[in-house]
Structure 1
């Protein structure tokens, strides 16, 4: 299997679907196991706990709705549930991604070699350990980008009616964009592409990329399916990198930085 030369014909839905196929490739499955195990343990436990608490949290949230808005209960209640699940899903998927980052980077590296027909790098535990400081620094860069924007969206929830209606929509769109950044970052970072350069490149295909991010975000909220979404998203994002962005940064087997010519 190699990357497609017709990347312009592929949208985010294509890469999401491709991710499900790529996790089952022979020779790739063994690199899926560790990020999958991290996600199953963390997300499985987190969502079990969430659904035991929703019965307490939602009535408490609804009790804060002004009496004169009680006629909107039928609308505010589902919005409240969706809001809690959205925030919870992204929070715990971020923690899972942080823990699994070294293994996700390894999965992306091996899959890229498979898709491009190159010899896979011989990466051992020591190589992963040496890369940990760089990997963790990159994860903190993503958090630094995410936190101030998330706080602004969180503040919207305190604006009666308008904020509580618009915030879940804006949060979902923002989460979709952050998903694109999160999972596409693995192949970009493997080639030492700066965080700023990566965001600029992804922004040029924002609509297609947001399709990919929206689907991953949606599946992150679905019990059972959310347990396997981490490696699926890494594989789909790596296929996207190979088709759309690799040629911008890798020429003749050498990594390049386009901002330096």
Structure 2
């Protein structure tokens, strides 16, 4: 499929939703499958171990409770499992960004080829292996950008008044911004665009960046569904790169939304 050369005016949410269609395309499914299976296998193994520990905890708790409170087991067990699913889903989303980074870049490359009909000529499989330190270094750059800012926002939750009002909103906006950075970075990085230049481009198209990141954030909060958020977001972000940045980035400045 060759993308129309005329830029289509779409919101970031539209690009994210387009990712659901792209992951089903025959030429792209195999590149979605590998990181998805890595995610599922690791998550299943961790869940098996965690459920074993949770079972032991509830067995011990049942031994401590009097008979008239035994009904608490049926109330707390599903709550505990649901909480564990949500927490582990968030943890695995972060871990998988590191483990699947080379595959994510490859998926972004194939999506761009599908949308433009042009080969990126990024090299052989051996070249991808040699490029691994640089790819992981890019993930480390994103993490260094994220951590100090995340700590500042988390501190706001403990500030009286602000912690109960502005902090949750600011945290959601910050998370949306980071999701845009995380997934839009793959097509930018495929073209060796620096991290700072990539941030500059996203800041100059804030409407698309934040709406895309907000959609990723909201879908990442849904257990099970968030398993496929990563490839969907990569596909959507690459589509946004093709429409908004691929040609325009050859110019010194990127026009804002």
TM-score range normalised by the length of the shorter chain: 0.7 to 0.9
- Map 1:27-176 to 2 at 5 A: 27-42=27-42, 91-119=91-119, 121=121, 124-176=124-176
User: In the aligned structure 2, how far is the partner of 1:100 from the partner of 1:161?
Assistant: 40
Q: Deviations over 1:125-183 (max 9, x none)?
A: 42221110110111111111111100101111222453144322211111110000000
- Map 1:7-22 to 2 at 5 A: 7-22=7-22
Q: CA RMSD in A?
A: 3.0
Assess, with a 3 A threshold, how the Cα gap between structure 1 residues 170 and 90 changes in structure 2: closer, same or farther.
farther
| Alignment gaps of 5+ in structure 2 | 58-82
Residue 246 (1) aligns with residue 240 (2): no
Report the Cα offset of residue 99 of structure 1.
1.1
Report SS of the residue matched to 2:27.
Answer: coil
Report the Cα offset of residue 121 of structure 1.
4.1
User: In the aligned structure 2, how far is the partner of 1:7 from the partner of 1:90?
Assistant: 34
Report the Cα offset of residue 93 of structure 1.
1.8
Moved more, 3-12 or 133-142: 3-12
User: In the aligned structure 1, how far is the partner of 2:230 from the partner of 2:243?
Assistant: 20
Residue 204 (1) aligns with residue 204 (2): yes
2:235 aligned partner: 235
Report the Cα offset of residue 4 of structure 1.
4.1
Alignment: residue pair count:
224
Report the Cα offset of residue 34 of structure 1.
1.6
TM-score, normalised to structure 1, is 0.76
TM-score, normalised to structure 2, is 0.77
| Alignment gaps of 5+ in structure 1 | 57-81, 251-256
Q: Which has the larger radius of gyration?
A: 2
User: In the aligned structure 2, how far is the partner of 1:96 from the partner of 1:37?
Assistant: 11
Report the Cα offset of residue 239 of structure 1.
0.3
Assess, with a 3 A threshold, how the Cα gap between structure 1 residues 245 and 30 changes in structure 2: closer, same or farther.
same
User: In the aligned structure 2, how far is the partner of 1:131 from the partner of 1:109?
Assistant: 14
User: In the aligned structure 2, how far is the partner of 1:219 from the partner of 1:106?
Assistant: 23
- Map 1:174-193 to 2 at 5 A: 174-193=174-193
Q: Deviations over 1:85-120 (max 9, x none)?
A: 6x8765542221111100000000111111111136
Report SS of the residue matched to 2:118.
Answer: coil
Is the 1:157–1:167 contact (alpha carbons within 8 Å) kept by the matching residues of 2? Answer: yes
Report the Cα offset of residue 44 of structure 1.
6.3
Residue 26 (1) aligns with residue 29 (2): no
User: In the aligned structure 2, how far is the partner of 1:11 from the partner of 1:40?
Assistant: 30
